[in-house]
Amino acid sequence: MRRVEIFENIDKMKKFLNGESSIGFVPTMGALHRGHRSLLERAREENRIVVLSIFVNPTQFLEGEDFSKYPRTLESDIEIAEEVGVDAIFLPTAENLYFSDELGVIAPKVRGFILEGERRVGHFNGVLQVVLKLFNIINPDRAYFGKKDAQQLILIQQMKRDLFLDVQIVPVEIVRDSDGVALSSRNRYLSEGERESARTIPESLKIAEEMAENGESLAKIRDEIGDRLKNLDVEYIEIIRRDLGKIEEIERGNSIILLAVKVGNTRLIDNSWI
Ligand code: AMP
């Protein structure tokens, strides 16, 4: 197997990519699983050069969130990258990516501060800031994002539009475990019992999809999901348009059901594009 090149230094990373014309980029926070892998595989199919970045970005974590205990599994991340045939891993440090008193990026006033952005105020400022920095360093032709983080994906598509970024944003389907639970680096925090409970999240989304197919009302679908998740600590169940606008009724092919649920101390998000 070919060894992947690893760059901590920004100038060396840029030099490696200088003159390349077909670059696929997959930004992550590491602790890679099959969800990340499917992004990398898609990038591998569609580009000459594939770059993976691994950076646990401090500016997108709020006070009291799991920044310091976020899982870090570099050795196995490198193995996965090599299996997929990634060309380079960009591993910046916060010291070389950030400056003191630097200018910021502010998420859109409405879409950036509802749902996840309402519970995690400022989270998307940090996400958009780091993604913009990474885009400017890597200069990718295509960048791959999971539909698992639906609001993040939509805001990155908006950033591309608003700032006229010359990159194609490629959405990738959610990868789930055999019990239906969406793969997430945070699933490892779940106890066996919590994992059992977490199954009701994808189960409720599945029922909701069937109800939407049968033309049930938005209110009825929300109630049904709420009912099925009543033993969990639900933060929100929202059904909105794919541009994150409010809707009164489901617009088939243009709606998303978004959930955030706490299972024990672990906060899980999931969604369904309907
Ligand atoms: P993270 O490292 O968790 O920030 O995720 C990096 C990228 O992988 C993001 O674009 C996520 O949306 C994507 N991702 C995470 N989990 C999944 C999953 N289960 N299926 C598809 N994509 C995922």
**Which band of pLDDT confidence, cut at 50, 70 and 90, is reported for residue 58?**
very high
Query: How many angstroms is it from 184 CA to the middle of ligand 1?
Result: 7
Query: How many angstroms is it from 251 CA to the middle of ligand 1?
Result: 26
Query: How many angstroms is it from 274 CA to the middle of ligand 1?
Result: 19
Closest CA to 135 of 100, 90, 87: 90
- Which atom in ligand 1 lies closest to the alpha carbon of residue 29? 2
Query: How many angstroms is it from 54 CA to the middle of ligand 1?
Result: 12
CA of residue 162 relative to chain centroid, distance = 20
The reported pLDDT for the residue numbered 120 is 96
CB 158 within 8 A of CB 111: yes
Neighbour count for residue 105 (Cβ, 10 Å): 18
Query: How many angstroms is it from 9 CA to the middle of ligand 1?
Result: 24
Query: How many angstroms is it from 267 CA to the middle of ligand 1?
Result: 15
The binding-site residues of ligand 1, defined as CB within 6 angstroms of any ligand atom, are 28-29, 35-36, 38-39, 145-146, 148-149, 172, 174-175, 182-185
The reported pLDDT for the residue numbered 272 is 98
Ligand 1 pocket: which of 32, 36, 40 to mutate (most atoms within 8 A of CB)? 36
The residues annotated as belonging to the active site are: 36
Which residue puts its alpha carbon closest to atom 14 of ligand 1?
Answer: 146
Ligand 1 pocket: which of 149, 267, 272 to mutate (most atoms within 8 A of CB)? 149
pLDDT digits (tens, 9 = 90+) for 85-133: 999 999 999 999 999 999 999 999 999 999 999 999 999 999 999 999 9
pLDDT surpasses 80 at 182: yes
pLDDT digits (tens, 9 = 90+) for 29-44: 999 999 999 999 999 9
Largest CA distance in the chain: 55
Which residue puts its alpha carbon closest to atom 10 of ligand 1?
Answer: 145
SS3 50: strand
Which residue puts its alpha carbon closest to atom 15 of ligand 1?
Answer: 35
Strands 49-54 vs 233-241: parallel, antiparallel or unpaired: unpaired
Residues 6+ away with beta carbon under 8 Å from 201: 180, 181, 182, 229, 232, 259, 261, 268, 270
Write down the pTM of the prediction: 0.97
pLDDT digits (tens, 9 = 90+) for 183-231: 999 999 999 999 999 999 999 999 999 999 999 999 999 999 999 999 9
CB 218 within 8 A of CB 247: yes
- Which atom in ligand 1 lies closest to the alpha carbon of residue 36? 8
> Which residues partner with 27 through β-bridges?
53
pLDDT digits (tens, 9 = 90+) for 158-179: 999 999 999 999 999 999 999 9
Ligand 1 pocket: which of 25, 26, 28 to mutate (most atoms within 8 A of CB)? 28
The reported pLDDT for the residue numbered 2 is 67
Mean pLDDT of the chain: 97
The reported pLDDT for the residue numbered 1 is 63
